[in-house]
Structure 1
Amino acid sequence: MSRGRPGWRPVGEHMLRLDVRQLHRRDCLRPGLAFSWSWSWGDEPAGSISIFTSTDSIRLMYGTKDGEQVDELVGLDLTPCHFGGARTWFLCPRCARRVGVLFGGRRFWCRHCHGIAYAVENEDAMSRLLRRSNKLRERVKVRAGTAYPVTFKPKGMHQRTFDRIRWQIQKLESAFWMAAAERFNITV
């Protein structure tokens, strides 16, 4: 599956996801139910499927973009929890791996069968540095990006914690600028 740059894989965050935990929280896994599940991107509908439940499986019925009608049986598995109860899992229809999320494409399979990466797996070193820095900036309530200084400690945060986070941000952003200078062949 090679589109774009070498090593590129489709990103799971941009695909339709069917999450067993979400279905369980909404009490949609009880045997004998029939309902439809839909997704949207913003205000635009992105897809929908019909789901029929039984004791040990769910049946997914949907149409693909090219008009093919799919009727797919997905097994369910239960594992006991340490403090009682049980956790429900999907069994991938292709590889029978126990998973929490199935991703929609032509079929609903696990991320391994679809060859899906998380968004961070397609990032280069500079993007990773900037993402990590912005995540720390979020913790100290400063705007993302290297143009905004980290000066004021958020109310309720210990000074030592703030100083440590600020030092980490400076270290990450320094590494980002060094990598940028190297990439664009700029000498200091």
Structure 2
Amino acid sequence: MPKFAATHSLNDYPKITISNYKKSLDNAPAETIKLNYFYLGQQYRYQISITETPCHYGGKRHWFNCPQCGRRASTLYCHGRYVCRQCLGLHYKSQLIQPLDRLFSRVSKIRVRLQWQQGIAYGHGNKPKGMHKTTFARLVNEHDEIVNRIVEKML
């Protein structure tokens, strides 16, 4: 069961990514990155270590080492100090979507593809010009199945 949407997602926190430092690391390899910033009125000054792993077809990939747990991460999120998402207990936005909202989202995408008016209350529309009959039938069938599941959950 997904977490309730009241939980914070990764989008709620400032972040740094290793890709922001890629060019400088390729030109001048470093083992640490020095950070100096203010967050909520408090100054933070520390270093984050960097590791690299070889890629299968040559080259190398850089990673941050999380200052709290030591895991490799390409992105660190700020909540005072920059740490990995596991240390903050954060979830991706898609992990916080409720099952009923997923169904409504899927129906909406199908209705856009079928060029029908948005909202399940509007019923069926016509087959879009140029769409194959079997594709239209498959999408209408999927649409109807999802709408039935929505109605069941709403009752």
Residue 17 of structure 1 aligns with which residue? 15
> Quick check: 1:69 aligned with 2:34?
no
- Partner secondary structure for residue 86 of structure 2: helix
> Quick check: 1:175 aligned with 2:146?
no
Give the conservation status (yes or no) of the 8 Å contact 1:120–1:128: no
2:83 to 92, 109, 115: 109
Structure ranking higher in helix proportion: 2
Per-residue CA deviation, residues 54-107 of structure 1 (Å, 9 max, x unaligned), is 612212211011x21101311222122222222221111111111121112211
**Separation (CA, whole Å) in 2 of partners of 1:140 and 1:22:** 40
Give the conservation status (yes or no) of the 8 Å contact 1:64–1:106: yes
- Partner secondary structure for residue 61 of structure 1: strand
How high is the sequence identity, in percent, across the aligned residues? Answer: 27
**Separation (CA, whole Å) in 1 of partners of 2:67 and 2:117:** 44
Aligned length: 152
Residue 36 of structure 1 aligns with which residue? none
Please state how far the C-alpha of 1:20 moved relative to its aligned partner: 1.8
**Separation (CA, whole Å) in 2 of partners of 1:91 and 1:122:** 26
- Partner secondary structure for residue 10 of structure 1: coil
Residue 29 of structure 1 aligns with which residue? 25
User: TM-score, normalized by length of structure 1?
Assistant: 0.64
Distance of aligned partners of 1:117 and 1:158 in 2 relative to their CA distance in 1, 3 Å threshold: same
Please state how far the C-alpha of 1:114 moved relative to its aligned partner: 0.7
Cα-Cα RMSD: 3.0
**Separation (CA, whole Å) in 2 of partners of 1:125 and 1:163:** 25
User: TM-score, normalized by length of structure 2?
Assistant: 0.76
Structure 1 residues without counterparts, runs of 5 or longer: 33-53, 182-188
Please state how far the C-alpha of 1:170 moved relative to its aligned partner: 2.7
**Separation (CA, whole Å) in 1 of partners of 2:106 and 2:43:** 43
Distance of aligned partners of 1:11 and 1:167 in 2 relative to their CA distance in 1, 3 Å threshold: same
Per-residue CA deviation, residues 101-133 of structure 1 (Å, 9 max, x unaligned), is 111221111111111112233332211212233
Moved more, 159-168 or 123-132: 159-168
Give the conservation status (yes or no) of the 8 Å contact 2:5–2:97: no
